[in-house]
């Protein structure tokens, strides 16, 4: 097993520890588990970065020399890293550790999925269609956008739990940020993710023209990327032009992330040019 895979396997357990500590900190309102949770998330993100960079080095050592973004395993590693980094920015910027009880679950589950035997993790030479710098720009922007949508979905779930709770003055729900803050942060994350997804679709179209001689071909992943884009475009339109806030935006945020998950995982079971991703 390459050293990068060993490191990334350890990272999975570190993310798992972060989930446990965040949950304890949120439910029992304890400061020490909260600090341990943040420390675990930082350690996980650092190990995730190290594993990603080492895999890059290993590909050069094997004579392939590519940025590790070319298959499902590598995209999962980068997705987990993106979520953890964006979450840590949110935690340090807004001092809202309770969000970690929901956000930290994503990188843990993603890395756990990447560790399954069914996910091919070997380093292999790139097929011709993947030998493009446009691929790097396309994947990075799309997955940073996906990560922002994941954080937005986590906050939206918190908002919906808060809305459904009969007593928000005590118990774990009382330790959520106030509804206005959650609503605004959801909007910010979705705006950021929407911008990056838009850039990702554009760079993907340029890459498609370079690889296959056409900008758009209604491949299943292209089609569902457009569906995802339209869901979030509808959400932003409803908020900015119709004045939607709160519960309706939170529900649309969850629907949007469901579309993201189908775009990422679901279309892999459909025949198409993106089936390797």
Residues 76 and 143 in one domain: no
Question: What residues have CB less than 8 Å from 216, skipping those under 6 apart?
Answer: 205, 208, 222
Domain co-membership, 110 together with 35: yes
Does residue 107 sit within a domain? yes
Give residue for tokens 């940073």.
Answer: 144
Is there a single domain that holds both residue 159 and residue 80? Answer: no
243 and 145 within one domain:
yes
For residue 220, what pLDDT band results from cuts at 50, 70 and 90?
confident
For 71, the token pair is 């298959």
Q: Are residues 60 and 169 in the same domain?
A: no
Q: Do 251 and 155 fall into the same domain?
A: yes
Tokens of 62: 């094997």
What separation in angstroms does the CA of 125 have from each of 34, 85, 121?
43, 29, 13
Tokens, residue 149: 């949508």
Average pLDDT over residues 142-147: 96
| Predicted pLDDT of residue 126 | 84
Q: Maximum distance among all alpha carbons in the chain? A: 60
The verdict on residue 82 lying in a domain is yes
How many domains, the chain? 2
| Residue 122 within any structural domain of the chain | no
pLDDT score, position 276: 46
Residue 92 lies in a domain: yes
Mean predicted confidence (pLDDT) in 174-200: 96
Predicted local confidence at residue 174, as pLDDT: 87
| Residue where a domain terminates, one of 51, 81, 116 | 116
Region 251-262 average pLDDT: 96
User: Which of these, 224, 275, 265, 220, lies nearest to 114 by C-alpha position?
Assistant: 265
Q: Which of 49-53, 154-158, 241-245 has the lowest mean pLDDT?
A: 241-245
Report whether 142 contacts 86 (CB < 8 A).
no
| Count of all residues that appear for the chain in the document | 277
pTM score: 0.94
Residue 102: give the domain boundaries.
1-116
Look at residue 167 in the predicted model and tell me its pLDDT: 67
Triad 251, 229, 260: Cα angle to 5°: 65
Say which residues have a Cβ less than 8 Å from residue 178's Cβ, sequence separation at least 6. Answer: none
| Domain match, 134 and 262 both | yes
70 and 168 housed in the same domain? no
149/93 same-domain check: no
Q: Are residues 265 and 144 in the same domain?
A: yes
The reply to whether 125 falls in a domain is no
Integer-rounded Cα radius of gyration of the chain? 19
In percent, how much of the chain has pLDDT > 90? 75
Assess whether 263 and 138 both reside in one domain. yes
Residues 139 and 266 in one domain: yes
Q: For residue 172, is pLDDT > 90? A: no
Look over the chain and give the mean of its residue pLDDT values, rounded to a whole number: 92
Closest CA to 63 of 126, 156, 139: 126
- Weakest mean pLDDT among 80-84, 106-110, 118-122: 118-122
């Amino acid at each position: 097993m390459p050293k990068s895979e060993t490191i990334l396997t350890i990272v999975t357990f570190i993310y798992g520890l972060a989930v446990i500590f965040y949950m304890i900190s949120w439910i029992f309102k304890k400061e020490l588990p909260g600090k341990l949770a943040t420390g675990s998330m930082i350690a996980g993100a650092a190990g995730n970065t190290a594993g990603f960079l080492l895999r890059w080095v290993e590909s050069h050592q094997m004579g392939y020399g590519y940025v590790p973004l070319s298959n499902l395993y590598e995209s999962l590693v980068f997705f987990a890293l993106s979520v953890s980094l964006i979450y840590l920015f949110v935690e340090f910027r807004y001092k809202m550790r309770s969000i970690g009880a929901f956000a930290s679950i994503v990188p843990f589950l993603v890395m756990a999925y990447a560790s399954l035997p069914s996910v091919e993790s070997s380093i292999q030479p790139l097929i011709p269609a993947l030998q493009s710098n446009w691929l790097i720009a396309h994947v990075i922007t799309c997955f940073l956008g996906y990560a922002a949508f994941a954080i937005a979905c986590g906050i939206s779930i918190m908002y919906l739990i808060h809305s459904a709770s009969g007593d928000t003055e005590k118990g774990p729900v009382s330790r959520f940020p106030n509804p206005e803050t959650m609503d605004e942060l959801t909007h910010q994350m979705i705006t950021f993710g929407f911008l990056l997804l838009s850039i990702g679709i554009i760079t993907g179209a340029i890459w498609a023209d370079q690889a296959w001689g056409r900008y758009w071909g209604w491949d299943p992943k292209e089609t569902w990327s457009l569906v995802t884009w339209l869901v979030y475009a509808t959400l932003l339109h409803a908020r900015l032009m119709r004045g939607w806030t709160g519960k309706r935006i939170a529900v649309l945020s969850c629907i949007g992330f469901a579309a993201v998950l189908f775009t990422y995982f679901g279309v892999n079971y459909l025949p198409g040019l993106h089936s390797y991703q």
